[in-house]
Structure 1
Amino acid sequence: MTTRWLTPEEQRAWRAYIAATHLLEDALDRQLQQDAGMPHLYYSILATLSEAPGRQLRMTDLAEALKITRSRLTYAVNRLEKDGLVRRESCRSDKRGSIAVLTDEGMAEVERAAPGHVETVRATLFDHLSEEQVGQLEEICGRITRALEGEEGARPAADDVPWRRRSSPPPCS
């Protein structure tokens, strides 16, 4: 198999993407650490749960929504649980399953941290883009996500992603 090296234009685009994503993640982490005392991942868990029906999700679904490994999610939820922001419940229909539930304290923390987080997202990303570029960013990121998840005729590495389940467990009741 012959290596398909990046063109100079692709190399510049790749390096710009890597620099931007690392700097953006660092800015988000710093802001959330300073304002809320938590890393971006913890805020993302709380925010995702705040938007879920009943403010709860099965742990495997939460891992998939956040695109992180189940072990990384378990570690983060353990910490959030110690802080009283999340609690874990057993899944009644599937004894192997576990549900993460956002507590009232966790919801209050999301509501307290959200304004600063949104302002940082706006200042570090959207304030630098035109309306047309925002649409392009959504289109580009959506296409990459769909390709990595095995849609759009991409080589399906999707079965290899650590948050993907081989079979769907029954819903928790």
Structure 2
Amino acid sequence: MSATHPDGTGDASGTEGDAALDPRQLGAYFVLTEAVSLLQHQVEQQLQAEGDLSYVQFQLLARLAHAPGHLTMTQLADGVVYSRSGLTYQAGLLEKAGLITRSPSPDDERATLVTITDGGRALVARLLPGHVQVTRRMLFDPLSDDDLHHLGDIMTRVRDHMRAQPPRSAAPRKRRPKPPAPPPA
């Protein structure tokens, strides 16, 4: 798909010779990344103060709390867009704290099933009101109902476009090159 600059000339897609975003695209990008960073910072502060959890740990617990059963590690990694190794580390911390359990899948020897414990559910329930309060204050209070509708529509389209690419956790693992065979003796 090709796009043109606002003046109708050239290709603004950032491909083949045009590596720059036009000023409106650049402005929108910086506003979006700053808003996401500000929101995430406030949420992280609330989660750390009230539950001694990181943002990623809360995301994992919240996904598990709202899942109809267990999830695989891959499903969790895809859902929170986190690396396999990072997720394994975070899951280990949550398991050590008694907030989740991990077990091998009876259906797929490569999969690990993750389930939230009653303690994990209780922690999510305790943190959720503060999480909602911060989110509402930082993100939703300045928006009208019409703004909220448009924001939801726009971000859904952007997310769906991004999700059309394979998730990082589903990408094939890089294989290590085999060491060269020793020379014949």
TM above 0.5, yes or no, is: yes
How does the TM-score come out when normalised to structure 2?
0.80
Q: Which residue of 2 aligns with 1:114?
A: 128
Could you say what secondary structure the match of 1:65 adopts? helix
Residue deviations 1:84-127 (CA, integer Å, cap 9, x gap): 00010110111111011100110111111111011111011001
Q: SS of the residue aligned with 1:99?
A: strand
Shift in Å, 1:4: 4.7
Distance in 1 (CA, whole Å) between partners of 2:145 and 2:26 is 26
Q: Which residue matches 1:15?
A: 30
Q: How many residues align?
A: 157
Give the corresponding residue for 1:98: 112
Q: In structure 1, which of residues 124, 127, 137 is the aligned counterpart of residue 141 of structure 2?
A: 127
Residue identity (%)? 33
Aligned residue among 85, 89, 96 for 2:103: 89
Match of 2:55 in 1: 40
**After TM superposition, what 4+ stretches of structure 1 lie above 3 angstroms from structure 2?**
none
CA RMSD for the aligned pairs?
1.3
> How many angstroms apart in 2 are the aligned matches of 1:62 and 1:39?
16
2:178 counterpart of 1:164: no
TM-score by length of 1: 0.86
Q: Which among 45, 60, 75 is matched to residue 61 of structure 1?
A: 75
Find the counterpart in structure 2 of residue 171 from structure 1: none
One-letter code of the match for 2:115?
Answer: V
Q: Larger radius of gyration, structure 1 or 2?
A: 2
Q: Deviations over 1:15-35 (max 9, x none)?
A: 111111111111110111011
Matched residue SS, 1:128: coil
SS of 2:71's equivalent in the other structure is strand
Task: Quote the Cα distance in structure 1 between the aligned partners of 2:42 and 2:134.
Answer: 8
Structure number with the bigger relative contact order (C-alpha 8 A, sep ≥ 6) is 1
Structure number with higher helix proportion: 1
Task: Tell me the residue number matched to 1:72.
Answer: 86
The 1:165/1:53 distance shift into structure 2, 3 A limit, reads farther
Residues 131-170 of structure 1: pairs in structure 2 closer than 5 A: 131-150=145-164, 158-159=165-166, 161-164=167-170
